[in-house]
Every structure is written in C-alpha cells, then in structure tokens.
Amino acid sequence: MSAACDSMPEARERCRLVRGTWWFAGGITVLSLVPSLGLFVPAWRRLEPWSTEAAMWLPLGQLVGMAGLLLVLRSPGTRRGWVHFVALNAWCLLAAMLCGLRLWEVTIAFVLNVGIRWGVLFAWVYAVAGLPLVTRMISRARPGQRFAGRLVRLWFGTTLMLVVAEPLAWWLQQSSEEIALPESLPAAPSGQLRIVALGSSTMAGHPYEPKFGIPQMLAWRVQAMYPDREVILENLAAPGQSLREAIQSLQRLTLRPHLIVLYGGHNEFLHEMEECVNTGTGPYDFADSLLVNSPLIRWLHFQLTRLHVMRMRFTARFALIDRHVVPPMLAPLRLRRFEHALTQLARYGQRQDVPMLWYVPAASESGFEPSRSWVRSGTTAAAEQELTQLWGTIRELMRQENWTSAAERCREGLREQPQFAEFHFRLGECLLRMGQPQEAQQHFAQAKDCDGNPVRLPHDYQQAVQAVADRFDITTVNGESALRPYTPLGILDRSVIYDNVHPTFRGFFLLGRAGATAVFQKKLLAAKFGDPRAVPEVTQSAAARQFEIQAADVAVAQRRIANGLRWLSLLRFDAQGRMRAADDWEELSRLIETGEAHPGERGIEPLNGD
C-alpha cells in the first residue's frame, strides 16, 4: 500500500486520511483502557478515571471514532471484519457501562481470579494430554522430518513454560519465606543468665502485663535455681504478632541469650489474609481442587492479592453459615509456612548453641464460642436453609433448658455436616448440663478446630509445634496438659483462660511453673551454668506476693479482657454472647474498683488459689 501511496498523489491523500482515521479510532480505544491502567498505577487513583463522569464521555468518543471509520473505510466487507467491528464496539460499550456502575474493578478482579486458574489448568491438561501424541509422532518420524504444526509448537511451548515456571515459582515462594536472623552476637557479660521470650499477647503477659506473665514466672524460678547468676529477662513478645513476626523480633537482640522461650501461634489467621480473599468460591472451585499443589498458581495468586483491586473486595458476611477464611487450596500452604518458620527458629538455636523451650499453646474450650461455621463444598441452598432452621430449634430448646432434645438435634446436624463448629459447641454445652464432661470436652475441642475464622490455634498447628520440636530435640511444655488438671471438670474454661487464649492469673502461674519444671528436669542450662539447684515448689499466693499483684491489678486485667471481647465480637455473626461476657467482666472490674467485691468473691478469680 505504501508503494501505491508514493506513486499517486490522490492515493497518498486517501492513505493519509485512512491513517488519520485509524489513529483517531485507536486513540478512542486506548481511552477505554484507561480504567484498566488506573488499577495498577496508584498515583492515578486520585483522578478516578473509571468514575461515572468519565463513563459518560466514552460512548460519545466511541460514536465519533466508529463514524469516522465507516465514513472512510465503508462497512466491513468480510465476516472477519464484521466480527472485529462488533467486538470493538462491544468492548467500548462494556467499559463505559462498567465504569458508570462502578463495577470495573470488580470485573477485573473476577477475570484475573478465573483467568489464572483456568489458564494454568488448561496448560497442564494440554501438556499432559499431548505428551503421548507428540511422543508417538516423534517415534514414527522419518529422519530429518520437521514438526512445524501449530499445535505441536504450542505443545512444546506450553510444556517448556511449565517446566521452567513451576520450579521458579517454588523458589520465589521459598525465598520470600526465609527469615533473616542475627548470626553473630557478642556474648553476655560474665555472671549474667539471659532469657529471651518470643510470642504475641499471651507471652507479653496480657492482661497482666507488664507485671506478670509466663516469662516473669519462669525467670523468677530460674533465678532460684542459679542464685549466683543475674537473670536478665528480655521479653520481645508483642500483642498481635504472628509467629513469623515473633521470630523476626530476634533481630533486636544485642547480646547472645542463654535460653529462648517461645509461646506463639494464636494470631496466624489474622495475618496475610489478603491472599485468602475471593479464593475457593465461585467458578474456580474445581480448578482450585486440581491446582492445590501447583507452586505457579499459588505464586500468581499471591501476587494478585497485593493489588488494591483484590484487597478491596474483602467483605465479611457474618452469617451462621459461611466459608472458611482460608480456602482448601491455601490451607496446606499456610500450615507449611508455619512449620517452616518453626524450623528456621530451631535451626537458628542449633547454630547459635542456644537451648530452647517451646510451649504448645493452649486455648479456651467451653468459655469461647467459635466465630463461624462452614459447610462442605456442594451443599445446596436448601440444605443450608435447613441447617439454619435446625440451629434456631436448638437455641430455642436450650432456652427452655431441654438439654436432651437439644443435644439430639445437634447430633442430627452433625450427621449431615460433621465439621459444623456451632453444633459441636452447643452439643458440648448440652452435655455439660447433662453431667457428661468428658464427651463435652471432645466436642468443645472439635468446635475450636472446626472454627471457620480461628482466633485460637487449631489442633493441626499445635501438632506442628510438637513435631518440629521433636525433630530438633527441643523441650516442650504442652499448655493444655499444664492447665487441664487444675480445672473443675477437666475442660479449659474461664478458671484458667479469660477469653479465647489469654490466661487468668492462675493460668499464667501454672504455665510459668510448668516451664520452670521443664528447665530443671531437662537441665537446659546445665551445659553453661552447671546443674540447677533444687528449689521448693511455690504457691500461687507466693507468686502474687513476689510480683505485688493486688486487687487493682485484677480489675485492670478484667477491664482489658472486656475490651478485647468487644473487638472479638466483630468476628462473629451474632455478637450478643461475647458482648454479654464483656459486660460481665466489666461489671466485676467495677465491683473491685468500688470495693464492693474482692478477688475470690462473686466469680472474681482469687489470688491465693492454692
């Protein structure tokens, strides 16, 4: 065409007009892409190019551009041309409509979510299904024959992409999980015995911080074992930390410790939850179940969740029946990351020749309701409606104190949905009223492990702590075993744990004493300081005197617990139970502050509970 344009002036003029029209139409098309570009350029977000006002101009620009094309080029002369023409118009109209309805970002998120899953799934199916066909073609080929077929070339390209991309995604994933820890620290001064505590709010001592907690109790008893040493406690725990963040806090060390104590993990489902947004529901359920072991799909999804458009779509429905916050595709990955963080800490202790003491965290059983319940994939809407009606019947029977009928109804629901946390918890309450605490404890534990929005460490994560500790010969203290014998019915209730995970004064005392016993029995510090001195068993009253815990401290602790329960009520579909518990603790705090009651009275925990 360029040669014809150069040879004839009339043709050159017409070509310039055609090119100009094409450029004009192309500019209109580019304008329709502006909302897409705005999703990925944060600085543009202030301009809101996908706003309703912008949407009004897109159809006008489209009409002008298309009119210019039809005027110069006439109507398309082929079927392919008509397809292109209609597709371009449909695209521009769709962009305008989505912008006007403010659904552009939602559409982009949906397309990305579906596209990466089905794209990778198609690539794997194509590569695997085409392998025998290509192998057969190669085996039957004549010498020197070339395979130039489009499908064959596509198969080789797809297979090569997967062979390279999957290991690369795995390596990138592993690299992002590595924790940088201080490898060269100066030794502590002679005469010091340094203990470092890692964890989150429980290890920080909430709600009795900074006066009392597991580290303070442990350091006190270690000081009695080694009276000729100055025991220095460095508590690096902070409320809300994940396990990874707790381990990363070792970067703040300036001197090499002699003992590292870990109590953490309850906050794992409050961190990195953006990767769980809009996963495992919708038209990509089937793809997720097939791609659970693909590092490539996991890495791609991880990158997509960093986009604002993905994070903004997270909304909580707060219904009785909901999905688990961590979809099945990501559950094994998140557990593996938890284990990997523990493994890095264990190896660090080996490299630095620092003994460790790990707690397997404990959590409330009967004193804290599960946040949400979920049903098996494929459950129909009618079945969900029946479960909701059954739950209403159970609550009504419990209000009437008809525990036997309510328990039978709970069992009926669990036969249909064995993992339904709400039914497990209510069955446990009924069994307690019926004088069957052992079976009740089992259902309370299952309610905790089946919670769809966990704020207590599930059993598989507890097992991971113990498994990694066993692999590296690290001494452990099982929090549940330390607390359970001192509860009225063998159930972890409010006698040892206030809310979901935070111990009472008695709970802290028992956990700290169990840790000190482990240090003594396992002689964790004997290699550097010799055998520990045998010390007499201490009482809860002695601990209260040692750390000067008064009634005012109990009042402050219970007020803090009340505030925490009000925040936790936001995670449950019916907040009344947690709000009532918060009001109860607030009232007990008020009674202490006004002198109307004292520790050990009217349901207030005692300080001398020996």
Residue 230's pLDDT is what? 96
In the structure, what pLDDT confidence band is assigned to residue 406 with cuts at 50, 70 and 90? very high
Q: What is the pLDDT of residues 499-510, one digit of tens each?
A: 999 999 999 999
- d(CA 293, CA 371) in angstroms, rounded, equals 29
Q: For residue range 267-317, what is the model confidence (pLDDT) as tens digits?
A: 999 887 767 765 444 555 555 666 667 788 777 766 666 554 444 444 445
DSSP notation for 507-532? HHHHHHHHHHHHHHHHTTTHHHH-SP
pLDDT tens-digit profile of 320-366?
888 888 887 788 889 999 999 999 999 999 999 999 999 999 999 99
Beta bridge mates, 356: 260
Close Cβ partners of 255 (under 8 Å, ≥ 6 residues apart): 185, 186, 187, 188, 194
Partners of 477 in beta bridges = 359
Higher pLDDT, 114 or 58: 114
Residue 136 burial by Cβ neighbours in a 10 Å radius (0-12, 13-18, 19+): exposed
* pLDDT for the residue 38: 44
pLDDT at 11 over 90: no
Q: How far is it, in rounded angstroms, from Cα 454 to Cα 385?
A: 24
Quick check: helix, strand or coil at residue 358? strand
Report the alpha-carbon distance of residue 410 to residue 390 in Å, rounded.
8
Specify the CATH class of 192-271+331-368+453-594 in words. Answer: alpha beta
pLDDT band at 63 (very low <50, low <70, confident <90, very high): low
**Percentage of the chain lying above the pLDDT 70 cut:** 76
Between 562 and 313, name the one with better pLDDT: 562
User: Per DSSP, what are the bridge partners of residue 478?
Assistant: 360
Q: Please give the mean pLDDT across all residues of the chain.
A: 83
**Confidence class for position 7, pLDDT limits 50, 70, 90:** low
C-alpha angle 39-44-45 in degrees, rounded to nearest 5? 65
Residue 139 has pLDDT above 80, yes or no: no
Look at residue 327 in the predicted model and tell me its pLDDT: 80
SS3 249: helix
Higher pLDDT, 86 or 242: 242
More confident site: 235 or 33: 235
Task: Pick from 6-15, 135-144, 214-223 the range whose average pLDDT is largest.
Answer: 214-223
C-alpha distance from residue 239 to each of 9, 205, 264, 411 (Å): 79, 9, 10, 38
Rounded distance between C-alpha atoms, residue 464 and residue 82, angstroms: 61
Q: Which CATH architecture has domain 381-449?
A: Alpha Horseshoe (1.25)
